[in-house]
Amino acid sequence: MRDVFVAGIGETPMGRYPERGLHAMIEEAGSQAIRESGIDPARIGAAYIGNFAGQALTGQAHLGPLMAETLGIADVPALRVEGACASGGLALFQAVQAIRHGIHDVVLVGGVEKMTHQTTAVVTGALTSAMDVEFEAQSGLTFPGIFAMVANRYFHEHRNVRREMAQVAVQSHDNAALNPHAQLRKRIDVDKVLSAPAIADPFGLYDCSLVTDGAAFMVLTADSLISAPATRRVRITGSGHGGDSLTLHGRQSQTSFRATRQAAAAAYGQAGRSAGDIDLTEVHDCFTITQIINTEDLGFFAAGRGGDAVAEGRTARGGDKPINTSGGLKAKGHPVGATGISQAIEIVTQLRGDAGERQVVKADVGLTHNLGGTAGTCVVNIFEGE
């Protein structure tokens, strides 16, 4: 199988853009990625775009050709990929496979979501379509509610990590304050998290990820000789896709996500790496408890010890396992269909040594972890700087 290289990246700042449509965000991020790659757009063989709720929130479907036409490559086969919050990660997975197996030499992959122009009720309704509507959503469950159940079960099986969850939020905000593309560049402290308005016990306002507009794109290539303005070439060495039941009640465990373990095992195996080789990670922190569980499932810490690692500063930017140096979904933002690509852009930026004030000291091997729904879908990608 062939090597896959990142030739160009581009993204919009994450935020609230009621005046901007899908076309404008795609044009900004996609054009930036193509320009940075230095590749003639005529060489792009295919394009994939992650998007979860375009129809529900904007009325727009068939986003593959919309993306291609917007970026001036209308004759390229283009496809929208949907997997709830893992839509971007799945689009990246498809792009990697297309190059790795020799189907295409150059692929454009991205993600986009426009959400903030809608009411909270409309956005909540769209998001709950990523759970089992008949057995979960119609009973009144929302994602804050269902992950709150996960948190309480974690407390029961291990210990109460409410304070450590608050520290997760504080670390994410500290990182986002140094990221010019982050939506919420505001530092907070543990007391502010613990005293915030309640959302779903034990979550308060600052335990939950953001509603975000944004787009993110990458150009991938099999040709390692294509020059890019980066100080280092970045290669994708592992890409795994895992799955689990759609419902929470269908799980073997509510405090460990089988889809993550599957995707991580595949990605580690392809890359010839283990959890100990990873220098930094962007994980899917839709809620603060989720970051803790994800770091355990990825093999960084033992079950029940992810909270200890946060309290000890190991997951902070200066720790031995930096998590979400971008600010994560919690503070950089969660533009659902674009999230998996935005995570990858942070890792590429760090591996290139271009992260400015938030640059970690050792950034040679990075990992992205993107979940869909109640962890029914997961994509893990491993990136290495050369």
List the catalytic residues: 85, 334
Q: ∠ CA 19-22-26 to the nearest 5 degrees?
A: 115
What is the largest distance, in Å, between two alpha-carbon atoms of the chain? Answer: 56
- Which residue bears the tokens 């979550």? 203
CB 200 within 8 A of CB 145: yes
What is the full DSSP assignment across 17-73? -TT--HHHHHHHHHHHHHHHHT--GGG--EEEEE-SSHHHHHS---HHHHHHHHTT-
CB 232 within 8 A of CB 384: no
Q: What interhelical angle do 258-271 and 288-297 show, nearest 10?
A: 50
Stretch (H or E) spanning 241: strand 234-243
Per the DSSP assignment, residues forming a β-bridge with 6 are 220, 234
CB 152 within 8 A of CB 189: no
Q: How far apart are CA 182 and CA 166, in angstroms?
A: 19
* 240 CB-near residues (< 8 Å, 6+ apart): 262, 263, 264, 265, 266, 267, 268, 269, 270, 379, 380, 381
CB 301 within 8 A of CB 279: no
- Which residue bears the tokens 């010890």? 305
End-to-end, the C-alpha distance of the chain in Å comes to 19
Q: How far is CA 65 from CA 40, 55, 329, in A?
A: 19, 15, 28
Stretch (H or E) spanning 219: strand 214-221
Q: ∠ CA 224-65-183 to the nearest 5 degrees?
A: 75
